[in-house]
Structure 1
Amino acid sequence: MTSTAPHQSILDKPFVLDLFAGPGGLDVAGRALGIPSLGIEWDRSACLTRYAAGLDTLHADVSAVRRDAFESLPPEINVLAGGPPCQTYSVAGKGAGRKALNEVKDYIKRLMAEEKIDKDLENLSDPRTAMVLEPLRYAIQATRSPNRENRPYDVIVLEQVPAVEALWEHYAEVLEETGLPDGTKYKVVVDVLDTETYGVPQTRSRAVLIARREGLGEPSLPGPTHRAYDPKEWNRRQERDTASAHQPTLYDEAVSESEKQKNVDDDLQPWRSMGEVLAPHGRRTPFLVRSNYGSSGVPGRRGVRTDRQPATTVTGRISRFVVFEHLDENIVYEGPRFSMNEAGLLQSFPPDYPWSGTARAQQVGNAVPPLFGAHLLSAALGLPAPDPDVMKESWQPATEEKRAKLRSHGCGDAYECTARCPRPEDQIPVRSTMK
């Protein structure tokens, strides 16, 4: 169900708590919409990026904050958001995935019955299974918080890889039918959405959940603003062009690409290509990109796309994508690989976003595409769809003074991590690149 109702914000002053916040995709979206946010993130490098970007952050384990510091969170927070690591059952169609999903469902049932589950969770072979329960546990904790006067969150927004749709459906069933232990119930919508249909220059599918507390109206999914990318149609078109008398080069003007797409649906804009996004920032066109996404390391299965197409899913392997240039004269050579700012642009981050710390490619790949996040938040809150150009402006990094203040709040010291910060050796297993 997509939104067709008149736009009227359901909250006077939305304030987002972003669990598993990463380098700031959803927070960047919130800032573009004028919505404040607080992110909780345990990866040190992702926090360094967030501090450099000027984003309010707690360098902490999400579960530890819930247990030990929930009452210190701003009481005005009324929107809960996040994408918990869900690798333990991301193979939902297989036996191991179904078993893990059934295990999670049982824990959810016990949570709603107010049973104690922490000791059982400590014995799990994979601690990430416990992490997928955290959004629900935060929702319950909010109703028991004296600092909040026991007020539940008004809106919940969750997203993850498509295989997690089955879990979101179970979340929806619990939130709508069973309700939280205090009796609070929500209206919920769940679906799998494609990010290129919201102006992100990348084909990336996400399972999303949007919930509104009863009394705040029916929630709806964001309506698409751009055409979906169909690889089969693209291949058929290339075959027709090759068979015609005119032999096109691999790069056509963006206007020609728009002409090819516009007649399919006059209400939707053309999907955005890599060349359209990267050329204004110095990337030479034409180019080809060979990625190993979905190849399992087998060279013959690697995907190849031209700059006239959207990128394949940007993962932590984005720095390994090989870029070939100088194609228009039948001379092909390997050009420079994508910089982190270019990889960020393919995720719809603003130009010059201040990526910091180590494992920057992993940070980019794990992030929520900000433009997609802006559409999710807008739909969840009843706001109009964001301007497709909202992320094009250069990002103003935080001053040294601001960065020190943010880190003092997030880590306990203006210049370094402290004993309250998660230890790197505890951050195992490593985050998946599937995000």
Structure 2
Amino acid sequence: MRKVGIGVSEDATVATSLPGSVTEELAARLAPVDAELARRYPGEPGTRQPVHTVYVPADAYSAGTVADWGGQALELLRQHAPGAREFADVLGLPEELAGSVYERVLAKLEREPVEDLRIDFEDGYGVRPDAEEDAAAARAARLIAESCAADGAPPYAGIRMKCMEAAVRDRGIRTLDIFLTGLLEAGDLPGGLVLTLPKVSCPEQVEAMARLCGEFEKARGLPPGRIGFEIQIETTQSVLGPDGRATVALMIEAAGGRATSLHYGTFDYSASCGVSAAYQAMDHPVADYAKAVMQVAAAGTGVRLSDGSTNIVPSGSRRQVHEAWRLHHGLVRRSLARAYYQGWDMHPGHLPTRYAATYSFYREGMEQAAARLAAYAGHFGGDGAVMDEPATARALSNYLLRGLDCGALTSGEVARYSGMTRADLDRLAGRSAATGQATAAT
């Protein structure tokens, strides 16, 4: 007879006091709660998240925009930091990361300089005659469709329409209709289609957007729920309502499952809090408060987060470029440490530091994360200094997967330190292997 535990044999009968009806009654009572929790908190979507969003005014967008941004970023890098050591010195990167980060930044700018493109019909475009905006919306659809057909589109692309406020609502709806219709007339909606709803102040505006998407699906025979959208958080009312409740949580619910992400708008939100222009920044206390509320409201819902931007662009003298790079690099690293894995980039000169900050973030922690994951999975055995829980194993897997997705890491490197394949990481993170969309070399 084999013992299991202290003084208890394997075939022993343990004593209990509660009747089985209690368990059954509690299960029946909590079944609606279980279903509601599963509906509201489905967890991470298990797909690649872009590291940034690039906004381009609709009238300035062309078939060559993405390549132009990459070319300008490369030129700036070669002019003001022509080698790995110079670039590392500017940003304060450790010597051991200098070469690998610089090489990957160069490769990224040549291969895929923009991960997420937003053709802007809102602040970056302004108010134009209807005929002009109609033509710009149709042109945007045609160019996106052509780039997708030629396999030259960024992984994610779409438009930011005008908001649901009364003065511009009809114009925004019409632009969205023209754009989506143009995509369908050219073939189909791209898999990486992203739509952004700006200046949201109340859940009813989100509900209206969700209704708009549903009506378009019906009109064109699309599957229900095919069209999702981002909610831009750039008003105080979108964070905290007049009753003291977190409005952003209500807006996620109002989207009816269509909300894909929350984007923080640095300058509109700061201004709405009364912050003077010189102090409007991603690291201001009012920004941290708003983003903390967003983070808690979105946790577990499958709705992702994006930080805002800096309006200090790398231009002018070498000293000015280096100062702007250091600022942007520091802000991106700060966001990453706070689990904001995406942000806005407003200028081609931000791309080198976006990728440098992102790549160094993942490369400097790769070996430790992989070793902890290997110890958790029992791949290599040995004594570990950290005893990780399943939730931490998911976080470690997601960390490595994000590094793979953006090109910071290779699957060969991860396998060498963790003993795991991409499929192993997908499984631990709860991702579908088919939706990883990795861009790194193997």
Asked if TM exceeds 0.5, the reply is: no
Q: Which has the higher strand share?
A: 1
Q: Which has the higher helix share?
A: 2
Q: Which structure would you say has the larger RCO, counting Cα contacts within 8 Å and 6 or more residues apart?
A: 1
Q: TM-score normalized by structure 2?
A: 0.32
Q: Which has the larger radius of gyration?
A: 2
